Structure 1
């Protein structure tokens, strides 16, 4: 049996996919990790006591999940990567798929330093990268192996004898550009114009996943925009996680 949990982490995405044999977990995959705050940062306030929102790490603890075979980050917006630290508090991971890895001993980016003189969107882009980097640096050894997704072609993975996953990418040039901009940031460069441009492009290069299990097909849309879907030929699926939280420009 394949169990899908679309976790209520509030603003953002976090999806747990487990192949089960009765109550025994045979395989576990997590796609994205939710926000680092259960209350939306653009609408601050107290969390309603009736809320059923939960951090991804706490959800894993409630289920008794202590290990993930595979984890995947679709892109580096805070509402998808922010909960990674709490997840790594709760579990170890065999393989982690990502389109970018910060350099070893990466320095702090300090996005809100007053000397930066950066626009808000540029600071936000740096903050998301800093959250991702800090989660990795503060949990050494929790991830056994990193798998860098180059973004040049579809990656097909036979996860178990019955479960297959395709990782679908956007325009290859975007992933090269991402590396250039992020590497420059860690080298101390603070080009506000380039960071803002990248912040607006990040969703376009969001990874998408297509899962195949016993004749059923499941599509996880990440935050990909509508035009990404219109440039590829895909067959119908049985379950669709709508892209970009069902925003107006995510589908057509």
Structure 2
């Protein structure tokens, strides 16, 4: 009788153990993928503020590096959660000091639960608007697990980072809106003579509301409201902001046909340079109070 050879089984088991071992090492950061030259170059730029518009298709996720603080605005859809987690990890993010959710629509809240679970969290803020969805539940479960509570955003709030850097919350200024998009806070991050304006999916009604408050709106960079939809980017608002750059977070061939060609034309009329994540991938800026420069090509 021939003896059974156990060599193939031994080789298979050895390979399986090796694969599991590599996975564990990667997962716990013991070994890792070498950073790209692009990431290394961006990290080497000495600017007190860097703003990353992360490419996650039709959705928003923005990383703001302010001095030694890390701020996240929104977390896209659930399917993009790992993309965001990986992106933050690539830039050595271990703690999110501030996390903002602009409003509870899927392309902004979908990945929030997973992202919150992956990092140490400081404070979490959102407008006082709840939608009963699985994404909202995952987010609240993650906050409970982290021992964090939701703090509510309102117009007039201010966050300061040193003497010359501050984040002004310009909306919401009403208790309720019919469309959840309009709970999106319009936020202005100022660094000396430079500024960024973030808008979530705020529509024209909120743009007008903020203009009427008399708040300063001028900025070097504007995050296109509502992904370049015709519901937003009113002419008076664009004239008040008067941006040099407008960043549109969008996905090629998306179901919403955004950004609107009409709005893109409007951006051109005011002389802004329009940058689309669907064309450029993630878009990064650096600012030092004297100038804002694109850090991605």
User: With structure 2 as the length reference, what TM-score do the two structures score?
Assistant: 0.56
Structure 1 residue 248 displacement after superposition: 1.4
Counterparts in 2 of 1:87-236, with a 5 A limit?
Answer: 87-100=115-128, 126-127=132-133, 130-138=134-142, 140-142=144-146, 144=148, 146-149=150-153, 151=154, 153-174=155-176, 198=178, 201-231=179-209, 232=211, 233=214, 234-236=216-218
Structure 1 residue 71 displacement after superposition: 0.7
Q: CA RMSD in A?
A: 2.3
1:7 aligns with 2:54: yes
> 2-side partners of 1:90 and 1:214: how far apart?
33
User: With structure 1 as the length reference, what TM-score do the two structures score?
Assistant: 0.65
| Unmatched 5+ stretches in structure 1 | 21-25, 39-52, 103-124, 176-197
> 2-side partners of 1:251 and 1:77: how far apart?
19
Once the two structures are superposed, what CA deviation does each residue of 1:28-87 show, in whole Å capped at 9, x if it has no partner?
11111111124xxxxxxxxxxxxxx96212211222211011111111001001111221
- Which has more radius of gyration? 2
Contact 1:30 1:72 in 2 (8 A): yes
Contact 1:88 1:139 in 2 (8 A): yes
- Number of positions where the alignment pairs a residue of Structure 1 with one of Structure 2: 183
Q: Which has the higher helix share?
A: 2
| Unmatched 5+ stretches in structure 2 | 1-47, 235-297
Moved over 3 A (4+): 138-141, 143-146, 159-162
1:83 aligns with 2:111: yes
